[in-house]
Amino acid sequence: MMASVHRLARRPTVGLVSLLGIGIVALTTSCGGDGITSTPAASIQEFEQRLEELRASSHISAITAVMSNGQQVVWAKGYGIADISTQRSAADTTVYHLASLTKPFAATVLLQLVEEGKVSLDDPISMYGMNLPGPAGTVIRVRHLLSHTSEGVPGTVYSYNGDRFALLEAVIAQAAGKPLDAALQERILTPLGLHRTAPNPQSASFAVSGLNKTTFESNMARGRSVLPPASPRLLSTLPPFRWRWTATRCCCRQPKHLPTRRS
């Protein structure tokens, strides 16, 4: 399915479960072609069948889906094979790589630090030991990395760049006085009780989770190729994402007034 606060100052308005659920429902009820119907499923059994057909037709090894009613998870189920080598089936406890869904976590921590006065979105990134090329006379600031507008004339062109966004890790580390993985654990994962969410177990960052590495890895989906050992990106199951918080909002949509650079 993109690895936390002495004080939980704010809480996200939309949880990852909701985003994932919306995506699955949209795919199963709105996409045309390939035998996918736009008619809503008449029963949970039909919905489950459509999910499985979608998984198979998309050549996805494993998925886990969840539905919630308010703060209560009312249905969760895994489909497919989570580990092809052992033929372990996907389940509601299967751990998936969150990939770029890690970005909202990092952005939330960053904006908490902004609210605490420990960093400013208008800080030049040079304050944090970074020097990126740009047109003469321009300054790349923290907000430009956060909003993917750091390329070209800063603040004028939206160009999604995960590598540049990742540079915010240095900003967070300096402002928080600790590495990103420790800040995530302290500010988000522990306060929210996300006990099945942790940094990449192949990295040293996993230690901050306090989880048993062997147990955690035994539930991981193995369809994805090996993660870089140094990657702090999060992995998680679905059910723990029972968001009870409404965090500092980070607008992840493209600013309407900015042109988009295709890459």
pLDDT value of residue 196: 87
For residue 231, what pLDDT is reported? 52
What does the DSSP assignment read for 78-93?
Answer: EEEEEETTTTEEP-TT
Q: Is the dihedral of CA 24, 60, 99, 233 positive or negative?
A: positive
Distance CA 166, CA 161 (A): 9
CB 175 within 8 A of CB 113: yes
Closest CA to 96 of 70, 63, 74: 63
Q: What is the pLDDT of residues 7-33, one digit of tens each?
A: 233 323 223 333 333 333 434 333 444
Give the containing element (helix H, strand E) for 118.
none
Chain CA centroid to CA 113, Å: 19
- pLDDT tens digits, 45-81: 999 999 999 999 999 999 999 999 988 999 999 999 9
pTM, full prediction: 0.71
Which of the residue ranges 42-51, 92-101, 194-203 has the most confident prediction, judged by mean pLDDT? 42-51
List, in order, residues 6 or more apart from 194 with CB less than 8 Å away. 4, 188, 236, 240, 241
Average pLDDT, the chain: 77
Alpha-carbon distance 7 to 30, whole Å?
41
Nearest Cα to 7, choosing from 112, 117, 105?
112
Q: Flag whether pLDDT at 3 surpasses 50.
A: no
Tell me the torsion sign for CA atoms 18, 20, 22, 25. Answer: negative
Contact between residue 181 and residue 205 where contact means Cβ atoms under 8 Å apart: yes
Residue owning tokens 């479960």: 17
- CA pair distance 186, 192, nearest whole angstrom: 10
